[in-house]
Amino acid sequence: MAPLFDWWAKDSHRGTPVVVKMENPNWSMVELEGPSEEDFLITDSPSRRGRDKSRNKNAKQLTWVLLLKAHKAAGCLTSIATAMVTLGSAIKRRIHSGRTDIETTDIDRENENPTVKTRFYTFIKIFLWLSVLLLGFEVAAYFKGWHFGAPHLQLQYLLAMPFGFQDIFDSLYSRWVLFRVEYLAPPLQFLANACIVLFLVQSIDRLVLCLGCFWIRFKNIKPIPKQDAVADLESGENGFFPMVLVQIPMCNEKEVYQQSIAAVCNLDWPKSKILIQILDDSDDPTTQLLIKEEVNKWQQEGAHILYRHRVIRDGYKAGNLKSAMNCSYVKDYEFVAIFDADFQPTPDFLKRTVPHFKGNEELGLVQARWSFVNKDENLLTRLQNINLAFHFEVEQQVNGIFINFFGFNGTAGVWRIKALEDSGGWLERTTVEDMDIAVRAHLHGWKFIFLNDVECQCELPESYEAYRKQQHRWHSGPMQLFRLCLPAIIRSKISIWKKFNMVFLFFLLRKLILPFYSFTLFCIILPMTMFIPEAELPAWVVCYIPATMSFLNILPAPKSFPFIVPYLLFENTMSVTKFNAMISGLFQLGSAYEWVVTKKSGRSSEGDLVSLAKKETKHQRGSSEPNLEELKEEIMQQDQKDKKKKKHNRIYMKELALAFLLLTASARSLLSAQGIHFYFLLFQGISFLLVGLDLIGEQVQ
């Protein structure tokens, strides 16, 4: 038995050294020795000294573990304290700078009436002050014994209360309760029910889209070009290589012009079959000079590339593209590929998109998916990635497969030039010229294809200011277009189903109803129901369905699941911008026509540019490695001249006012013990507060 016991003590009971690593690097590593054989030695008559020694040793080890736990907790508290100090410093800087979104720029003065601009903010401020007044009234009533756990009140009893000098407050409050029950609660409940219906319809639409995406994945459905087109590409320059025009419209985008020009010059397509147009609308002389020099470099390397500059920027991007298409040599080309200044197509982009046109004369557009070089840069870019992943993976893919129609994304797509001309070409009547041409092409019977497996890299806006302006343009433009296109849709010869899809699903449900109910239901009606409890919003409307929809939205980007709660809150926060933009576009207010180029950061590193130049050498396209130091010096000199235009963080007054409105409503919800409503209003108010103080995106020191 002795050998067996020794084996058991050695192999089973003997522990291994434990190394505990602290997450906080300020704390050192401590090694805990495993128990020795003496710790597990069992005899018939153990001595008292051996037992005490074992106990002391185990107690010491337990003490070490507890100390390490305490160190870890202290490290967490230190991190939280550091984060809170940093947050406090950022808030102090915002308040000290005093820069708000109410300030008007030169573009604002030209395009927008200041009265129109502040009207929506005034509306929100009125609600805020009213809610603060009502909160004070309700708190006073609470301390006088008015405790309501439910909206069902005995109004006759309230009115029968004796009226005297001491009961004046009770009399006023009882009449306030009667007034809100008789006159305020019914219309508010009706509006709430209408928004709930719209919410359910939009949720069903999203669920159907997700089921369609699941079916596409399950059946592995995707557009496939005809085999003879692929074979022609593989056969060399004598195969299917139609004439392709490549256009890059840009405007004062000196951060990204190099990488986009290098990427399109590296496209794997016969030089005699491709022409690249750099359509520069820049009004900055330094940027114009830099772009011209870059084009000259590539011309010397043998690329078929031209530089075009417009002195008068009529029509913004639409006017730029329209002017380029009017060139006499365009008639020699069959297709046109369009890329924004921050897009970098892979060398095989044309070989993976153009073959779909062969033998498919009804096909007008092939759209590729976007991918993002800076999706993990900050919280804002992560949340944008969730939204756009759903847009491409679900919305555009499903509509492309089952309907052959979706909105053109304005870039990373190849058009048949005949389809553009047949649809009337580029028009400057809205700020969404890409959606405009797509709608008109669809009404003329052209079909679209979306390629989910062909990606084109680009950038996401990293600052909230840039993202906010982009979303304003994206949500006001469709409403402008809907007003203009509705008669043409009704008169068109497409089927009734396609008309229904375009009017109700494409425009009304996804462009108008979504921002309307999102803002009205969660930012106006829900806080009002806290002060008028006779109108109720069920818990499933506040919590369960939004959580389910957020879960569906995040499925195309599974790595973003830890951000599901911030995503839900941020989408409701952005509803104020989207609602404002939707109203501006629908009623043709001044800001509906505002066009601001989305600011780029040039996230493709210098190393990426150098490696791209090396790849070009391998493809025998010549290397045009830019003089990066020279470029840096020129840009720094220009930046010093433009100190007034230096970017900075702002305070956004509408978001800040809504933050205090929601936090006031959450305080009122405590009086009636509405748990889930309280937590939603609290966290949604904090979300509005962080966005209002511009703490979510890029932080400018």
434 part of the active site? yes
Beta-carbon count within 10 A of 506 CB: 24
Active-site pick, 101, 281, 342, 436: 281
Pairwise CA distance, residues 416 & 464, whole Å: 36
> CA-based diameter of the chain, in Å?
107
What gap in Å lies between CA 552 and CA 390, rounded to an integer? Answer: 9
Angle of helix 564-586 versus helix 675-692 axis, rounded to 10: 70
Q: Residue 686 is encoded by which pair of tokens?
A: 């904090």
* Among 375, 368, 446, 382, CA closest to 414: 368
- 249, two tokens: 């419209």
Contact 509, 205 (CB under 8 A): yes
| Torsion angle in degrees (nearest 10) through CA of 598, 518, 100, 683 | -120
Per-residue HEC secondary structure of 298-331 comes to HHHCCCCEEEEECCCCCCHHHHHHHHHHCCHHHH
**Residue labelled with tokens 């006073």:** 140
Contact between 262 and 616 under an 8 Å Cβ cutoff? The reply is yes
- Alpha-carbon gap, residue 506 to 501, rounded angstroms: 6
Distance CA 389, CA 370 (A): 9
Question: Which residue among the candidates 340, 434, 436, 694 is catalytic per the annotation?
Answer: 434
Q: Which of 584, 585, 589, 596 is nearest to 480 (CA)?
A: 585
| Cβ–Cβ under 8 Å, residues 663 and 681 | yes
- Helix, strand or coil for residue 295? helix
> Environment class of residue 595 by beta-carbon count within 10 Å: exposed (0-12), middle (13-18) or buried (19+)?
middle
Distance, in Å, from the CA atom of 498 to the CA atom of 443, rounded to the nearest integer, reads 9
Q: Is 54 helix (H, G, I), strand (E, B) or coil?
A: helix
Cβ within 8 Å of residue 606, ≥6 positions away: 628
CB 202 within 8 A of CB 509: yes
Give every CB contact of residue 352 below 8 A, 6+ residues apart in sequence.
451, 454
Is-catalytic flag, 642? no
Cβ count within 10 A of residue 537: 22
Which single residue is written with the structure tokens 């009004």?
283
Number of Cβ within 10 Å of residue 203's Cβ equals 15
Extract the tokens encoding 88: 């406090």
Look up residue 535 and give its DSSP letter. Answer: S
In whole angstroms, give the CA distance from residue 409 to residue 446.
16
Per the structure block, which two tokens stand in for 611?
Answer: 């490696």
Paired strand residues for 18: 32
- Tokens standing for residue 540: 């499933």
Instruction: Give me the DSSP letters along 167-183.
Output: THHHHHHHHHHHHIIII
8 Å CB contact between 374 and 184: no
Beta bridge partners of 244: 274, 335
The values of phi and psi at residue 583, to 5°, are -65, -40
What tokens appear for 387 in the block? 């939204």
Instruction: HSE, CB side, 13 Å, CA atoms: give it for residue 554.
Output: 20
Give the catalytic positions in this structure: 281, 434
